[in-house]
Amino acid sequence: MENTVQHNYRYIQVQPISGALGAQIEGVNLANPLSCGIATEIRQSFLDHLAIFFPNQKLTPLQQLVFAQQFGQPIEYPQLMGLLECPLVTAVTKLEHEQANFGGVWHSDTTYLERPPMASMLYAVEIPPYGGDTLFANQYLAYDGLSNGLKQTLDGLTGVNVSTKPEVSMTRENRLRESGVELKALVAEHPVVRTHPETGRKALYVNNAHTSHFKGWTEQESQPLLDYLFKHQIRSEFTCHLRWSQGGLAFWDNRCCQHNPVNDYKGFRRIMHRVTLAGDKPC
């Protein structure tokens, strides 16, 4: 069940990093304006590989934002303050004394919104001397790997997604308390299986961080099937592993990809700059 997409690229070098998803992109300086040809190929590699990685970049927040604007509409991250000098860029920070990292569980970003983001971009400003890697999982393959009977069951279900699951909201709550912002509970309903608006492929669209139950089911009734899906959708053959380097940028598709930042760098600081791109209503 590999992601066997093959395209010829003229302007960039695309090196897959696993059979499931993920590719490293070489031959482009993201601080410079992109030609139409380069931007088109980056977009194609994003659709082909779901998560793409650009090593050795040197970006100011404004340069990161300008790069992001070539692929979508940047939006504010809900419930967190952006940088003063560039409000559409958010600092994702874990300090030396903190135990929990930001979003440290498998998830697709902010599925508790009516229109979850199309994509996220994360730029490595300061990384620990070791650890702090990010895992990604291909949700096309997760759906394809289900039995026909379970696919038929899931195709008719709606998931209820919330912002207040404690395992993912803890660090966000810390940041809000520091800035004096009130935490709001957000809820949105989305199909358990969504069709990607650009590729037409079906992807499993529940996640452990935000999906609480199925619409019309109780949480107790939903939990056994959700537990199965949460384990299934992160099987090792569906995943890739990103080892961050200083100045690296990751760009991933929230519509068909989950991620999990590994919290294994106790006592060290990790600072990333994030841009979120607006998405559509899942269907």
Q: What is the pLDDT of residue 277?
A: 98
Residue of 49, 190, 213, 259 marked active site = 259
- What six digits make up the tokens of 167? 């395992």
Catalytic-residue membership of 264: no
Residue of 107, 210, 213, 270 marked active site = 107
Domain limits for position 231: 13-277
Residue of 109, 194, 196, 255 marked active site = 109
Catalytic-residue membership of 115: no
Catalytic-residue membership of 274: yes
1 lies in some domain = no
5 lies in some domain = no
Catalytic-residue membership of 109: yes
Per-residue pLDDT of the chain (283 residues; tens, 9 = 90+): 456 566 889 999 999 999 999 999 999 999 999 999 999 999 999 999 999 999 999 999 999 999 999 999 999 987 678 999 999 999 999 988 887 776 678 999 999 999 999 999 999 999 999 999 999 999 999 999 999 999 999 999 999 999 988 665 455 555 555 555 566 789 999 999 999 999 999 999 999 999 999 999 999 999 999 999 999 999 999 999 999 999 999 999 999 999 999 999 999 999 999 999 999 999 9
45 lies in some domain = yes
Which ranges constitute the DSSP H helices of 56-117? Answer: 61-69
For 70-85, how does the pLDDT look when each residue is reduced to its tens digit (9 = 90+)?
A: 999 999 987 678 999 9
Instruction: Please enumerate, as own/partner, the contacts of 39-47 that have beta carbons within 8 Å and a separation of 24 or more.
Output: 39/70, 39/71, 41/9, 41/10, 41/11, 41/12, 41/14, 42/12, 42/71, 42/251, 43/71, 44/7, 44/9, 45/7, 45/9, 45/12, 45/14, 46/71, 46/119, 46/251, 46/253, 47/198, 47/199, 47/253
For 131-169, how does the pLDDT look when each residue is reduced to its tens digit (9 = 90+)?
A: 999 999 999 999 999 999 999 999 999 999 999 886 654
Residue 250's CATH number: 3.60.130.10
In whole angstroms, give the CA distance from residue 131 to residue 261.
10
Would you give the DSSP letter of residue 90?
Answer: E
4 lies in some domain = no
- Residue 258: left (phi > 0), alpha (psi -120 to 50), or beta? beta
Residue of 172, 194, 196, 274 marked active site = 274
In whole angstroms, give the CA distance from residue 82 to residue 14.
31
283 lies in some domain = no
User: What does pTM read for this prediction?
Assistant: 0.92
Number of domains the chain is built from:
1
2 lies in some domain = no
